[in-house]
Structure 1
Amino acid sequence: MESQEIISKLPYSKPFLFVDTIIDVNENAIKGSYRYAEDLDFYKGHFVGNPVTPGVILTETMAQIGVVCLGIFILNDNFTKDIVIALTSSEIDFIKPVYPNETVTVFSEKVYFRFGKLKCKVWMENQKKETVCKGYISGMMKL
């Protein structure tokens, strides 16, 4: 399955789509990237005069790339738009800030996929290859 095919199956659109590219993917891992444009609406108020990407947006980016895109790849032809996707848990440590116009890379390794639940070890790096956040995210896929 090609990168654009995976992205086209995502149940998100702008301004809530946080996936630009899938760099590499296999049954056990995925790597993708996203650039946080400086005109994104949340920067207007987080924080005034010194904008920083909110942790919830970093978590969402890791979930979209690291869990949902990987889940779409794993399910392949069995994935349809009728499948409901839900976050079931996350445990993320935030280490460094991410600023407007930064491109981040998300890495995800499958811990397990069973009974429609996908749990992954995820981490995000900035352009300097520094880890900015890391942890575990789980999601459920159900018809």
Structure 2
Amino acid sequence: MNKDTILAQLPYSRPFLFVDEILEIDENKVSGTYTFDPSLDFYKGHFKDNPVTPGVILTETMAQIGLVCLGIYLSAGSGATEDEDETMAGHVMLTSTAIDFLKPVFPGEKVTVHAEKVYFRFKKLNCSVQMLNASGEVVCKGTIAGMVTKRMNG
């Protein structure tokens, strides 16, 4: 399954899609980017006159890139034929997070998420994940887990 196919399989759309591109992906890791558009609605009230990206949105960005994209990739490669890859890619439902927030992310910032698979068994995917700003500084990091389920299109 290629990067564009994975992006097309994501079950999100704007304004709740927090993946711009997948930089690399294999059975053990994924990296991707997202730039926070300053016009996103949540910036209007978080925080007044000094907008900062909410931690829940940073967590969601890490989950979409670091868990969902990798889960789609892994589920498509788990016994499906090439023809089935696009019709049976998995959904990933978030089950747990443990995230440390170290630096703020402001409107207009581009971030890069790196995730490494800790384990994928019994349909549960657990990843170690970190988000870096454009300067290469870690803004948040932790672990994230979810359940991978098969999706049948059509």
TM-score tier after normalising by the smaller chain length:
over 0.9
The correspondence for 1:132, drawn from 131, 139, 150, is 139
Which residue of 2 is the match for residue 53 of structure 1?
A: 53
Gaps of 5+ in 2: 77-84
Alignment RMSD (CA, Å): 1.4
User: Given the alignment of the two structures, is residue 80 of structure 1 paired with residue 88 of structure 2, yes or no?
Assistant: yes
Count the aligned residue pairs: 142
Which residue of 1 is the match for residue 26 of structure 2?
A: 26
Could you say if the C-alpha distance between residues 29 and 2 of structure 1 is closer, same or farther in structure 2, counting changes exceeding 3 Å?
same
| Distance in 2 separating the partners of 1:70 and 1:109 | 9
What fraction of aligned residue pairs are identical, expressed as a percent? 58
- Structure 1: which amino acid aligns with 2:111? V
Which residue of 1 is the match for residue 80 of structure 2?
A: none
Gaps of 5+ in 1: none
| Distance in 2 separating the partners of 1:141 and 1:26 | 17
| Distance in 1 separating the partners of 2:87 and 2:115 | 20
Question: In the TM superposition, what is the alpha-carbon distance from 1:85 to its structure 2 partner?
Answer: 2.8
Give the ranges of 4+ consecutive aligned residues of structure 1 lying more than 2 Å apart after TM superposition: 78-81
Give a deviation string over 1:46-88, Cα, whole Å, max 9, x none: 001000000000000000000000011112228636x543111
The correspondence for 1:99, drawn from 98, 106, 120, is 106
The correspondence for 2:123, drawn from 111, 116, 119, is 116
Contact 1:72 1:79 in 2 (8 A): no
Could you tell me the TM-score, scaled by structure 1's length?
0.95
Tell me which structure has the larger Cα radius of gyration.
2
- Structure 1: which amino acid aligns with 2:119? Y
